[in-house]
Every structure is written in C-alpha cells, then in structure tokens.
A and B are shown apart, each in its own frame.
Chain A
Amino acid sequence: MARISLKDVRKSYGSTDVIRGVDIEIEDGEFAVFVGPSGCGKSTLLRMVAGLEDITSGTLSIGDRVVNDLPPKDRKVAMVFQSYAIFPHMTVRENVAFGLTIAGASKAEKDAKVAEAARILQMEPLLDRRPSQLSGGQRQRVAIGRAIVRKPEVFLFDEPLSNLDAALRMDMRMEISKLHKQLGTTMIYVTHDQVEAMTLADKIVVLKGGEVQQIGAPMELYHHPVNAFVAGFLGSPSMNFLDVEVVEANGDAVTVRNGALDPVTVSRASGDYVAGGRALLGIRPQYLVPAADEAASALHGTVGLAERLGTETIVDVALKDGKSLIAALSQDAILEMGAPIGFTFDPAKCHLFAARSA
C-alpha cells in the first residue's frame, strides 16, 4: 500500500549539493532506518519525503503516486520531530487530536481516537496536562500520539530519541519497535546512532556526504560491509583498521602484513590488490582473541588502558608499529598495563578494503 521509492533524488541549496543522487526502495510495512554521521543529509532526505523540502531532481513515489510536487498534507505521512514540535498552548488531548480538529472531525470521533492512541502509548493519565508539565519522554509520546491518530500510510521519525537520557532512550526504542509491530505501517527513522539503527531496522540505509553507502538488513551490513566507512560505522566499539602491505595476491586469497602483524591470508570480497600495494585490514574488536603464548600470536603489542564493563573488557592496545587497536575481550582477564600481549583471529572474519587514499 505504501511503498516508498526514491530514484536518483537530489537536493542542492544554491551551489551546495546536499543529496547527491539517492536510490532507495522501502517496502510496504518496512522499518527503514537512515543512519549516518551528523550533516550527511539524513534529515534533508526525510524532509523531502515529508514534503517539507522540495526535491531538486529525481523522483519520489509513495504508494503508486509520484509525490514530488504534492504538498505535505496530501502525502498521508506523519512526522515526529527531534524537538517534539507539540503545541505549547494546547493540552495533551488537544495536541493528539490536532490533525482530527483540522480535518473537522466530530467530538465523539476525536475522543475515541485519542483514547485509543493514549491506550497504545500508555498515556491516559497525561491527557489533560499541558506540555510544560511533561517530561521529555512524555512529550515525545504525545508527538507520536499525534502521528498515530490520523492513521497515516507512512511514519517519519527524525532523531526522535536524541533529546532523551540513555535509560529513557532504550525504553522508547522498544516502544517504537513495538508500535511498528502493532501498526505494521511503513516507517522511516533517521538517526546518527548505530545502536538504534541496528536494533530497530528491517533495512538500514547508511548515508555519508549525501550519498548512499550501503542498503541492507542490519546483520548483512554488519557482516558484509561494502566499504570501510560502513564497516567502521556499524558495531561498537568500532572496527579496527590496520594499514597493511599486500605481500601476495593470488586469486581471491590475499596475503597482507605490517609491522605489528605477521603475514595473514584473507579472502577478498572485492577490489584489486597487487603485491607490494597497500590495503586496509578491518578486524572487529570482538573477534580478537588474546593468545596464551605471545610468540604464537599474529598481532603484537602492549596493553594500554583497560575498561571493564562487566560483560566485556575493552582494552586499548599499543601495537608494535606504533598504531593503536581496540580489543573487546569476553573474559575478565587480569591485564597489566605495559605488558606484552598478542592476538590471534579468524582470517575469515576480517575484511579487506582498499587503502585510504592519501
């Protein structure tokens, strides 16, 4: 019913290109998350879907209609803003019913729909309060309530949780996930937080500099990132990248090494590597295993700062070649600062990328 499709969508402000040709398909009922660093154009893209920004070129369709030139109200979308955007002079009830008031709905209809939204969001006791008497999380609930009463075909969320504290953020994340399962409506959710992206999304769109880097299911992106940016952006702590020298490139098997890394053979996903050239080897901190015998390990360094989080210990390692590395160790081994440490890892879980251009 409400598939969303962006075809070569672009946006420029004067001579600055903010969105540089984006192709995204979002299926009906899908939860899509646009993720990327601050300033990469996520909000701009979302606002173009909402109709709050016009589209410089390209085609945007919602359902089977091209909506490029449709005003926001005719797109059947509802949006939840980072700043909540609830009306300060109206009670919660009036805020939630706003869209219905605008559409001239009867009082009975409004009451019924507001009651239903309040039940879904568990905010019945708040209905007669004013926004100034609400906490941040409650305000965001009101904003979501206003979005759901109109039964839109698409929900748009622009960083809805960034103004909340960590504990509340987790609660609301689950609420939003539950809401999506309950309503089954297409949703686009914008965030710079990869945890939100990983936990909420059916489909993640990673953006950088106004361009799509990769689109796919969270685990697909996690395990098969197409480039170093995606690899480094998803996962926490982020992936380690080692500057390596290609020793030998033999079909799909590429052998690399550097000052701290003994030669290791990994299989290439893509790209051209020639012996003597440079490359980037990505290893997630979780896949590093400390070797009992330092001499038998592949990666050599000394222990720096260690942070014990309970479930895992994050160790900052100074590699032999002077670079640093983060390892996430599952056991709470006693690590002595300055002691030599070696790691082994499964080459199959490494990622090889083209060297960073100088």
Chain B
Amino acid sequence: MASRFQHSNRAGWLMAGPAAALIGLFIIVPFALAIVFSFTNQRLISPNPAEFIGLDNYRQLLGVATLTLAPETDAAGAPVVENGEVQYPALRGYTRNNPDYPGLRGMREWFSFDWGDNRTFVLARDVVFMTAIVNTFIFVLVVAPVQGGLALGLALLINQKLRGINVFRAIYFMPVVVSIVVVSLLWRFIYDGNSGLLNNLLGFLSFGFIPPVDWLGNPSTALGAIIAMSIWQAVGFHMVIWLSGLQTISPTLYEAAALEGASKWQTFRHVTWPGLRNTAVLVLIVITMQAFALFAQIDVTTRGGPLDSTQTIVFQAVQRGYGKQDISGGSAISVILFVIVLAISLTQRWLTREKR
C-alpha cells in the first residue's frame, strides 16, 4: 500500500516538477525575497552589504502625523491676515531639527483642514506614496463597480439568441486580447490635448462649445481618463465571466418565472441575480486585484504625473525599486500592497459568504 502510494507519488512529482520549479523560482522565491528585503536597506546595486534595519522602510512609507497650529498673532493678539488669508506658522519650524517635535522630523504637509480658529495639518513622511495609495483606492472604488456592472450589462445583452450575436461577443471581447500597453498607446491619441479623437468628438457634438482638454496632462482629468480607458479595456473579459455564469442558470427556471408572470426586472432580481452569486464574488475579487495592480497604463501614459495626480502603489514600487534603485523600499511597498489586497479579498469573501 505504502510503496504503491510512493510509487505513484514519484510519477506525480515528476510531472508536477517542472511547473512547480518554475512557480517556485519566479513567484515564491521573489515573494519571500521581497519580504526579506523590506526589512533591510538593500539597494539594487551597491558596494556595501545590506543591513537589517527592522521596520524602518515601513515607517518611512507609512509615517503619518497631525499637527494643529493656532494662527500667527500680531502684537495686539489678533490673527495676522495677508491677502485675505489667515497666516499660520511655517511647518519647517516643526519638521526641521525641532527638538520638541522629534516625531515630525523630515515630514511634509500632505493636506490640512481648519478646525475652529486652528488649522490641523496632516503630515506624511512620504507624501507621494500617500497620494499613490489614495489614487489607487479611488481607482479601485470606481473601476470595481463600474466595470463589473458594465460587464454584467453587456453579458445580459449578449446572452440572447439573436442572429449574429457572436459578432457582438467578439467585438466586446476584442480589447481584452490587445495588450494594455498597446491600448494605452492608442488612447494617448484619443486623449490628445489638441487634435485627439475625444476632443474632436466633443467639439463636434457641442458645436465647438466644449474647448479642447488635455485629458492626460491635466491633474483634474488624468486619473479619470485612465480609469475610463482601463474600464474599456477589460470590460470584455469580465463580460465573458458573467456570460459563463449566466449560462449555468437553467432555462427552465426562466420559463417557470415567465409562467408565474415575472416581469423582466423581477426575473433578473429573483432568478438571474441569485444564480450569479458565485460569479459576482469571482468578478469582484478579480477586478479588485487587477485594479490594485494598476501600473502599465500609468507607465505608458502619464508616468505618475501631472503633479503626482496619477501615482499608484505599483508604479511607486517599480519607480522606487528600479528607478531609484531602492529595492528594499520597493519591496516594502509590494508587501504593503499584498497585505491590503489580502485583507480586502478576505473581507469580500466574508461579506459575500453563503448565509445559512
């Protein structure tokens, strides 16, 4: 018994071996290395040996603090107002060599808000990384529901027995087979600030009332433009997943619903949507994970700009690790991303679990 088990086990290992070795070499080893590096000051190329520095990388990335300051007052005790703005003491005084505030050393202002007469400054040790985190979350929070919903809508449209429906399936799926790098290059033309397709189209439709916008060059539109492009590119992929989910629902259930007098919406609500439960969980998790990994679009179009308005976590990881050769900092970012995605996936699974 035991020998037979070992015998077939050996054959099994031989067959699984090549794949397991490659997975180990290119996924598990780098993953483990990233965790190890993130606790050191390893650089990409450096004559000095790496040292173990504990959580310094994480402190450097995630360090946040608040500082509440009262307005500057003149001799009479009234707030100083210049150009209609209340003046506050310079932050430099607190973040540079101020022995009373050792925790704020090296921090910069991220944003601030007024609280009564005082102003609260939120300081971060790495403001760009904080922006990257916020941008990534905005991206995920917009892309996940919009892309998932659009994909479901397309799947419902396409899940009909009509002549030539396969043409539509192919068309909607086409952007998926085109590399995101190519898609990004093409969309740069669409978004072009002068004679881009989008500007021309808007100008034409509004009879010239809408002035041309440099979609990728404007901090207030760049992230939105990248979101729209990303949704367009992968919506077909999720459409196919929804479609496969739709096709697992037995047609007799629809017939039963039709006989019971269900309207289109009632059929969707009582038959289709409950039948798509597992598909919905899958689509949501896949979109979320893909969205957190946002990189190629940024790298091809804006490289994080303008004014850091399209910085993302993965773009930061790559820039830091290879651009600045700070491989340990890049690794720490990767580990942070891993923890975020893991936590979100587990939460999603828990929220969408089958309730008994």
- Do A77 and B261 have beta carbons less than 8 Å apart? no
The residue that B260 contacts in the complex, of A52, A83, A146, with Cβ under 8 A, is A146
User: Is the C-beta of B10 less than 8 angstroms from some C-beta in chain A?
Assistant: no
Tell me which residues across on chain B come within 8 A of A101, comparing CB atoms: 270
- Do A73 and B270 have beta carbons less than 8 Å apart? no
Counting chain B CB atoms within 10 Å of each CB, which of A52, A103, A150 scores highest?
Answer: A52
Tell me which residues across on chain A come within 8 A of B263, comparing CB atoms: 102
Which segment of B62-70, B232-240, B249-257 sits at the interface?
B249-257
User: Is the C-beta of B343 less than 8 angstroms from some C-beta in chain A?
Assistant: no
Chain B: interface secondary structure? helix
User: Is the C-beta of B282 less than 8 angstroms from some C-beta in chain A?
Assistant: no
- Do B259 and A72 have beta carbons less than 8 Å apart? yes
The residue that A150 contacts in the complex, of B256, B260, B277, with Cβ under 8 A, is B260
Tell me which residues across on chain A come within 8 A of B275, comparing CB atoms: 88-89
Within 8 A of A (CB), among B161-176: none
User: Is the C-beta of A274 less than 8 angstroms from some C-beta in chain B?
Assistant: no
- Do B261 and A73 have beta carbons less than 8 Å apart? yes
- Do A52 and B262 have beta carbons less than 8 Å apart? no
With contact pairs A89-B274, A89-B275, A102-B266 given, residues A73 and B253 touching in the complex (Cβ less than 8 Å): no
Tell me which residues across on chain B come within 8 A of A86, comparing CB atoms: 256
- Do B252 and A89 have beta carbons less than 8 Å apart? no
- Do A85 and B261 have beta carbons less than 8 Å apart? no
Q: How far is the CB of B172 from chain A (nearest CB, A)?
A: 28
Q: Which residue of B lies closest to A75 (CB)?
A: B259
Tell me which residues across on chain B come within 8 A of A83, comparing CB atoms: 250, 252
Within 8 A of B (CB), among A45-99: 50-52, 71-73, 77-79, 81, 83, 85-90, 98-99
Tell me which residues across on chain A come within 8 A of B274, comparing CB atoms: 87-90
Tell me which residues across on chain B come within 8 A of A79, comparing CB atoms: 255-256, 259
Within 8 A of A (CB), among B249-294: 250, 252-253, 255-263, 266, 270-271, 274-275, 277
**Chain B residues packing against A (C-beta within 8 Å):** 250, 252-253, 255-263, 266, 270-271, 274-275, 277
**Chain A residues packing against B (C-beta within 8 Å):** 50-52, 71-73, 77-79, 81, 83, 85-90, 98-99, 101-103, 146, 150
**A51-B259, A77-B259 given. 10 additional CB < 8 A pairs?**
A52-B259, A72-B259, A73-B259, A81-B255, A85-B253, A85-B255, A87-B253, A98-B257, A99-B260, A102-B262
A-B CB contact pairs (8 Å), 23 listed: A50-B259, A72-B259, A73-B259, A73-B260, A79-B255, A79-B256, A81-B252, A81-B255, A81-B256, A83-B252, A85-B255, A87-B253, A87-B271, A88-B274, A89-B274, A89-B277, A90-B270, A98-B257, A98-B270, A101-B270, A102-B260, A102-B270, A103-B261
